[in-house]
Structure 1
Amino acid sequence: MMGAPRALVQRVHAGVGGVFGVVLFVILLSGAWSMAHEDLRAWFRGPSALAQGPALPLSQWLGIARERGLALGELRIRLADSGHSVVELCGSPTDCSGALDPANGRELASGDAADILFNLHKSLFIGFPGRVLISLLGVVLLLMIWAGSALHSGRLQDLKRLRRDRGARVFAHDLHTLIGRWCGPWLLLFGVTGALSGLGALGTLGLAGQAFPGAPQQAFMQLLGAPPPISPQAGTTQVDLDQLLHRDAIAHPGFSAQNVALHHWGEPGAWVEVSGIQQGLPSTAVFERHAYRASDGEAVGTRSASGRGVWLQAFIAVQPLHFADYRWVPYAGPLLRAVHFAMALAAAVLVLSGLYLWLERRRLKAGAGWQVLLRLVVGGGGGLLAATAVLLCAGALAGGNLAWWFWGSWLASLLLVCAMPPRRQPLHLLLAVAGLAFVAAAVLHLAGSFRHGSLALWPVDLVLLLCGASALWALRQLISFTRAARAAAANVA
């Protein structure tokens, strides 16, 4: 009675993994790098772009905005902080005028090469439909977690066993089980927050018209809050923005301001909005906002996720939890972020090891489906790893069109994989390229950091060194397994 359900669960686990495994690997690997999106943007700008000295007062940023041709009426100033090293001046939510040095206002390199991996994870470069598709893959991940948990026992030896002397298949099986056991809670977090990220937005859009017939925008007004009522004041005196920020910090202890937005600036009904992160509250600057009247700085409204109901707070918490934004955690934020990043990479290895086991079980048949999936795994997964490393290495060299390096490397990997016969796939080559490029990127960036006397981004360089060492270790293990298999085959013959 129990054999049939288990067999069914096993078929579901293997079948779903075989169909969606490559895409899940791409999403998880790019998602890991997306957690360090702002750090990577700063890394791509280079050590010379790091701010030296105190930030300019906000009053000077208004002058800089005028010089850049931006109207002050609806200007938003994105401030520099521990997670965002530059200042951005935005004439609209989607129109920001580049990255500016907080100390002097000079324009810096955009660092938008980091957006490649971020957009790949967020939407597959196809906008909102891509977000929904990736959310559906979050549901697929949850299904695979459930099936995998049902298939594996709770034996303690599964928490520590990793046999490297029994061949590649046993090693992959132990690695798959080990990661699944140790990373289970984080896998659930990735699946749940990933599913809710896009499907929640889709549900909001779909239900807005039914909740507010003829005026669906009212749903977003309820979610984000209406503008504060401002009674026009006589005179044109405007509040000092730096003093306003200082008073806001006193009035809201533990609040970290990220944005200062001007609304109807210069008009009688002008107001200023300060948004950011409140310590101890998993939310974002979209929901944590304080409004002040521009004429005298009087507080006229506060919006927060706090006190808005359990389900709404959970929905708001999805974004910071999914992208490892732990700045709201009082003490252990950096540690949690590092663990989150490591778990995302481990999840990608989990999917890759599962794909390898799926392929091994079908290797003897070697049908058309096996060959197609093999090429997708090596070219899509291994090619993405190599393309990411090449992108970072090219960024450290500051050479040419970085997007071209990424897409060109990935396309070249796919073409090479398609040209090679199934049993001579160039996985060794891709691992060697990835390992050497990761190490070279870290060494080149560290050398530049030493020249400029700033090691602010050493954590990124350390991660790149570890990634490079891991890829080269995987290459060594692959060579060892290949030699052992050939020796065993020769002894049998």
Structure 2
Amino acid sequence: MMGAPRALVQRVHSGAGGVFGLLLFVILLSGAWSMAHEDLRTWFRGPAALAPGPTLPLTQWLEVASRHGLTPEALHIRLPDGQRAVVELCASANQCTLELDPATGRELAPVNAADILFNLHKSLFSGFPGRILISLLGVVLLLMIWAGSALHSGRLQDLKRLRRDRGLRVLAHDLHSLIGRWAGPWLLLFGVTGALSGLGALGTVALAGQAFPGAPQQAFMQLLGAPPQVEPQAATTQALDLDQLLHNDAAAHPGFAAQSVTLHRWGEPGAWVEVAGIEQGLPSTAVFERHAYRGDDGQPLGTSSASGRGFWLQAFIAVQPLHFADYRWLPHAGPLLRAVHFGMALAAAVLVLSGLYLWLERRRLKAGAGWQVLLRMVVGGGGGLLAASAVLLCAGALANLGLLPPSVLPGCFWGSWTASLLLAALMPPQRQPLRLLLSVAGLAYLSAGALHLAGSLVHANLVVWPIDLVLLLGGASALWAVRRLTLFTRTARAADANAV
């Protein structure tokens, strides 16, 4: 145990869990859904939202952009890929608000409901300060992993023991130990990448002024690479064929998957084109993997990549794809790793929830102060988030059928979560609405999965069937948990009656 007294490690583990456990549960549960953010956007649009057919040529997207008031002089085009199903036209890489059908160029309605859980995980709706807070929670998670590993080190029986017939407390203890041992490497990944995601950005901003006094933007230029120097050439009568440029780029870089095309100074003598994407076998993002070409004749100007940039810089760049389960740089193992990543995130949320239950039970048995307040917060905040996310998805499935207007979806989420918090605050500790919230979550998840899957079968569009499967399994698991809680409660009451 690295020389630390066991009692101290126990206090650190339980104390950190009691103080930060609810926030960790919220971050982990919303983080699991954030991994499927683009798939959720497709799910909320519905199976009939996109027309079948091939993607329009890039040249036509310039005309579409002009119709929507975007000038080609500085245009960023996000291409559809394995995760993103639509084309996005943007004034810059950070200002993408226009989503279009790839086959027709038709403007699509925004899918704001899919961003709720993503923004909750990313910043708690608090911008950059929220990112820093979540990164600090990553540090807390690492501390709890260390303490938990120290407390359970050498206990091989924890790898397979799950006693279901010894009461709820024993089941929660075994489940906590089981998940902690098997999911340990993934928990470390969540903690390290989560901590570096925000704190790394904060450190970059803070150190940029020290490294380049008076010109901190040069630090980001060195990190991302300076734009190429383009010598103006004589005007050509024929415009550059952007589709042929993409074809040539794919031939020159066989392991590269293009995700976006950016036009710089288009129509001017010094125009150039940037193709960004993902390099096979390299954990990076399109921000760092870029190929530059002349805008007049398509001749290459240079490349920018995370490859060869040094171990620590490559590790920093890999944080983003590893944290959000973006394994497209592993085309064969990527889908399996993404599924395991999602499952481990849900398991981590269950780990935190079981730990909170054990902490509350110890405080209750010892008549400790504050356990009733935390109980209400856990039931209303944690159970309420589970129910609210289920209601949001069920409302989304109903909106796809035309039974609800899409504009009410955010209100369904916030109204459900607020109602759960109020109900938990008003109910006494012995009658907390946990089973009610789990029942709502189970029925809503089952309904959402079944309705969306039925619509997908009708339109022969099963692109996001894994989400429907997760919803069906999640709903069944929630209802199973309600049944187990009911059985445990009846058994405990019968034991108390016999004791009297």
Structure-1-length-normalised TM-score: 0.98
Q: Residue 419 of structure 2: which of 406, 412, 420 is its match?
A: 412
Corresponding position of 1:470: 477
- Separation in 2, partners of 1:75, 1:388: 35
Rounded Cα–Cα distance in structure 2 between residues aligned with 1:364 and 1:255: 59
Instruction: Work out whether residues 40 and 111 of structure 1, in 8 Å CA contact, stay in contact via their aligned partners in 2.
Output: no
User: Measured at CA, do residues 4 and 339 of structure 1 come closer, stay the same or move farther in structure 2, by a change above 3 Å?
Assistant: closer
User: Which of 435, 457, 462 matches 2:464?
Assistant: 457
**Structure 1 residues not aligned, in runs of 5+:** none
Cα displacement string for residues 167-221 of structure 1 (whole angstroms, at most 9, x for unaligned residues): 0000000000000000000000000000000000000000000000000000000
- SS, match of residue 112 in structure 2: coil
Alignment-derived partner of residue 330 in structure 1 = 331
Q: Name the structure 2 match of 1:282.
A: 283
Maintained 8 Å contact 1:288/1:303: yes
Deviations 1:287-327 (A, max 9, x none): 00000000000000100000000000000000000000000
CA distance in 2 between counterparts of 1:101 and 1:321 reads 29
Report if the CA contact (8 A) 1:34-1:323 is conserved: yes
* DSSP-derived class of the 2:258 partner: strand
Give the 3 Å change call, closer, same or farther, for CA 3–169 of structure 1 in structure 2: farther
Aligned residue number for residue 308 of structure 1: 309
In 2, Cα distance between equivalents of 1:54 and 1:210: 50
Change (3 A) 1:366 1:378: farther
The 1:86–1:3 alpha-carbon spacing in structure 2 relative to 1, beyond 3 Å, is closer
Query: Alpha-carbon deviation of 1:234?
Result: 1.5
412, 421, 428: which one pairs with 1:421? Answer: 428
Match of 1:432 in 2: 439
Q: Cα offset for 1:50?
A: 3.5
Q: Which residue of 1 aligns with 2:353?
A: 352
2: CA distance, partners of 1:298 / 1:171: 65
Give the residue type in structure 2 aligned to 1:211.
A
Partners of 1:33 and 1:117 lie apart in 2 by 7
Q: What CA distance in whole angstroms lies between the structure 2 residues aligned with 1:115 and 1:408?
A: 17
Q: Does 1:217 align with 2:217?
A: yes
CA distance in structure 2 between the partners assigned to 1:354 and 1:364 by the alignment: 16
Deviations 1:44-74 (A, max 9, x none): 0000113411110000101100111111111
Give the drift of 1:351. Answer: 0.2
Tell me the equivalent position of 1:487.
494
Partner of 1:109: 109
Asked whether the 8 Å contact 2:363–2:369 carries over to 1, the reply is no
1:227 aligns with 2:227: yes
Relative to structure 1, the CA distance from residue 4 to residue 265 in structure 2 (aligned partners, 3 Å threshold; closer, same or farther) is closer
- CA distance in 2 between counterparts of 1:135 and 1:4 reads 26
How far does the alpha carbon of each residue in 1:126-163 deviate from its partner, in whole angstroms, 9 at most, with x for none? 10011011000000000000000000132322111110
SS of match in other structure, 1:92: coil
Q: 2:276 matched to 1:269?
A: no
Partner of 2:273, secondary structure, is strand
Aligned residue in 1 for 2:183: 183
Identity of aligned residues (%): 79
CA distance in 2, matches of 1:16, 1:390: 31
Q: Paired residue for 1:173?
A: 173
Deviations 1:245-299, CA, capped at 9 Å, x for gaps: 0000000011100000000000000000000000000000000000000000000
What is the alpha-carbon distance in structure 2 between the residues aligned to residue 459 and residue 336 of structure 1?
14
Structure 1 window deviating more from structure 2 (59-68 vs 361-370): it is 361-370
Q: 1:330 Cα shift? A: 3.1
Question: Matches of 1:259 and 1:366 in 2, distance apart?
Answer: 59
Give 1:133's aligned amino acid: L
Measured in 2, the distance between the counterparts of 1:239 and 1:135 equals 45
Q: SS of 2:166's equivalent?
A: coil
AA paired with 2:458? R
Structure-2 separation of matches of 1:465 and 1:111: 22
Counterpart-to-counterpart distance in 2, 1:142 and 1:67: 50
Q: Which amino acid in structure 1 is aligned with residue 224 of structure 2?
A: L
**Structure 2 residue ranges without an equivalent (≥5):** none
SS of 1:140 mapped into structure 2: helix
1:95 maps to 95
Structure 2 residue identity aligned to 1:118: F
Letter in 1 for 2:433: P
2:379 and 2:434 in contact (8 A); partners too: yes
1:319 equivalent in alignment to 2:326: no
2:40 is matched with 40
Counterparts of 1:277 and 1:309, CA distance in 2: 18
Deviation at 1:367, TM superposition (A): 4.9
* 2:134 aligned partner: 134
CA distance in 2, matches of 1:312, 1:402: 41
Task: Work out whether residues 25 and 349 of structure 2, in 8 Å CA contact, stay in contact via their aligned partners in 1.
Answer: yes
Name the CA distance, whole Å, in 2 between partners of 1:94 and 1:404. Answer: 27
Change in 2 beyond 3 A, CA 1:2/1:125: closer
Deviation for aligned residue 1:97: 3.7
Deviation at 1:118, TM superposition (A): 0.3
- Distance in 2 (CA, whole Å) between partners of 1:211 and 1:441 is 52
Contact 1:51 1:85 in 2 (8 A): no
Q: Tell me, what secondary structure is at the counterpart of 2:302?
A: strand
Name the CA shift for 1:420/1:366 in 2 (closer, same or farther; >3 Å). farther
Deviations 1:439-484 (A, max 9, x none): 0000110111122121111111001111111111111111111111
| 2:291 alignment partner AA | H
Q: 172-181 or 367-376, which moves further after superposition? A: 367-376
Q: Give, as a single letter, the amino acid of the residue that structure 2 aligns with 1:178.
A: L
CA RMSD of aligned residues (A): 1.3
Aligned to 1:249: 250
Alpha-carbon spacing, 1:456–1:231, altered in 2? closer, same or farther (3 Å): same
**TM-score, normalization by structure 2:** 0.97
Q: Write the letter of the residue equivalent to 1:468.
A: G
